[in-house]
Protein backbone atom coordinates (compact mmCIF):
# COMPACT_ATOMS: atom_id res chain seq x y z
CA UNK A 1 0.00 0.00 0.00
CA UNK A 2 1.32 3.44 -0.90
CA UNK A 3 0.63 6.09 1.76
CA UNK A 4 -0.08 9.54 0.35
CA UNK A 5 0.21 12.61 2.55
CA UNK A 6 -2.75 14.66 1.30
CA UNK A 7 -2.20 18.37 2.09
CA UNK A 8 -5.86 18.64 3.16
CA UNK A 9 -6.63 15.29 4.83
CA UNK A 10 -3.28 14.01 6.11
CA UNK A 11 -1.68 10.64 5.39
CA UNK A 12 -4.05 8.17 3.69
CA UNK A 13 -3.93 4.81 1.84
CA UNK A 14 -3.57 5.12 -1.92
CA UNK A 15 -6.79 3.14 -2.32
CA UNK A 16 -8.65 6.37 -1.42
CA UNK A 17 -7.17 7.98 -4.53
CA UNK A 18 -7.56 7.55 -8.27
CA UNK A 19 -4.50 7.71 -10.47
CA UNK A 20 -4.64 10.40 -13.14
CA UNK A 21 -1.46 10.20 -15.15
CA UNK A 22 1.59 12.13 -16.29
CA UNK A 23 1.36 15.64 -14.75
CA UNK A 24 3.83 17.14 -17.20
CA UNK A 25 1.46 16.86 -20.17
CA UNK A 26 0.39 20.32 -21.32
CA UNK A 27 -2.36 20.42 -23.91
CA UNK A 28 -1.69 22.81 -26.79
CA UNK A 29 -3.99 25.61 -27.91
CA UNK A 30 -7.27 24.47 -29.44
CA UNK A 31 -6.18 25.63 -32.88
CA UNK A 32 -2.73 24.00 -32.64
CA UNK A 33 -1.67 21.57 -35.36
CA UNK A 34 -2.90 17.98 -35.38
CA UNK A 35 0.70 16.81 -34.75
CA UNK A 36 0.95 18.82 -31.53
CA UNK A 37 -2.35 17.39 -30.35
CA UNK A 38 -1.27 13.88 -31.30
CA UNK A 39 1.92 14.22 -29.26
CA UNK A 40 0.10 15.59 -26.19
CA UNK A 41 -2.71 13.01 -26.24
CA UNK A 42 -0.82 9.86 -27.21
CA UNK A 43 2.92 10.07 -26.48
CA UNK A 44 4.39 9.48 -23.04
CA UNK A 45 7.84 9.77 -21.51
CA UNK A 46 7.05 6.66 -19.41
CA UNK A 47 9.81 7.35 -16.90
CA UNK A 48 11.34 4.63 -14.75
CA UNK A 49 12.25 6.67 -11.70
CA UNK A 50 10.93 9.89 -10.20
CA UNK A 51 7.93 11.14 -12.13
CA UNK A 52 5.43 13.93 -11.65
CA UNK A 53 1.87 12.62 -11.81
CA UNK A 54 -1.71 13.56 -10.94
CA UNK A 55 -3.84 11.76 -8.36
CA UNK A 56 -7.44 12.52 -7.39
CA UNK A 57 -8.38 12.14 -3.72
CA UNK A 58 -11.73 10.80 -4.82
CA UNK A 59 -12.72 9.21 -1.49
CA UNK A 60 -11.47 12.16 0.55
CA UNK A 61 -11.35 15.89 -0.16
CA UNK A 62 -11.86 15.29 -3.92
CA UNK A 63 -8.91 17.57 -4.72
CA UNK A 64 -6.55 16.86 -7.63
CA UNK A 65 -2.96 16.56 -6.44
CA UNK A 66 0.42 16.54 -8.16
CA UNK A 67 2.67 13.89 -6.66
CA UNK A 68 6.34 13.21 -7.35
CA UNK A 69 6.69 9.45 -7.06
CA UNK A 70 9.34 6.94 -8.04
CA UNK A 71 7.78 4.47 -10.51
CA UNK A 72 10.27 1.76 -9.51
CA UNK A 73 10.30 2.02 -5.69
CA UNK A 74 6.93 3.82 -5.22
CA UNK A 75 8.67 6.28 -2.86
CA UNK A 76 6.86 9.63 -2.73
CA UNK A 77 8.96 12.78 -2.75
CA UNK A 78 6.34 15.53 -2.70
CA UNK A 79 2.60 16.14 -2.75
CA UNK A 80 0.92 19.43 -3.65
CA UNK A 81 -2.49 20.60 -4.91
CA UNK A 82 -2.68 20.50 -8.72
CA UNK A 83 -4.20 23.98 -9.01
CA UNK A 84 -1.55 26.67 -8.57
CA UNK A 85 -3.90 29.14 -6.90
CA UNK A 86 -4.89 26.57 -4.27
CA UNK A 87 -1.26 25.54 -3.74
CA UNK A 88 -0.32 29.20 -3.19
CA UNK A 89 -3.25 29.83 -0.84
CA UNK A 90 -2.20 26.77 1.16
CA UNK A 91 1.37 28.04 1.39
CA UNK A 92 0.20 31.47 2.59
CA UNK A 93 -1.96 29.87 5.24
CA UNK A 94 0.95 27.83 6.53
Partner 1 sequence: MSRYSAWAVFKNGLSGQKSWERAWRDPEPKTHYDIVIVGAGLHGLATAYYLAKNHGLKNIAVVEKGWLGGGNAGRNTTIVRSNYMMPGNRQFYEHSLELWEELSHELNYNVMFSQRSHVSLLHSPAARDAAARRYNTMRLTGSDGELWSLETLKSEIPHLNYDNARFPIIGAAVQKRAGSARHDAVAWGYARAADQLGVDILQNCEVTSVTRDADKATSIETSRGTIKADKIGFAVAGNTSRLWQMAGLGRLPIETHKLQAFVSEPLKPLLDQVVVFGVGGAHFYISQSDKGGMVFGGDLDWYKSYAQRGNLPIVQDVAECATSIMPCLGRVRLLRHWSGVMDMSMDGSAFICKTPINNLYLNAGWNYGGFKASPASGWYFADLIANDRPHDTIAHMDIKRFERGVMIDERGAGPDPKLHG
* Closer residue to partner 1, CB minimum distance, 49 or 94: 49
Stretch that binds partner 1, among 57-65, 68-76, 78-86 (CB under 8 A): 68-76
Q: Does 46 bind partner 1 (CB under 8 A)?
A: yes
Residues 6+ apart with CB under 8 A from 51: 22, 45, 68, 69, 70, 71
13 and 57 Cβ atoms separated by less than 8 Å: no
Binding site for partner 1 (CB under 8 A): 1-2, 13-15, 18-19, 21-22, 34-35, 38-39, 41-46, 48, 51, 53, 55, 71-74
Amino acid sequence: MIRINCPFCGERDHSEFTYGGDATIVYPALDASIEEWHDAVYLRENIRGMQSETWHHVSGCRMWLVIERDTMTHEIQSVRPAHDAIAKALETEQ
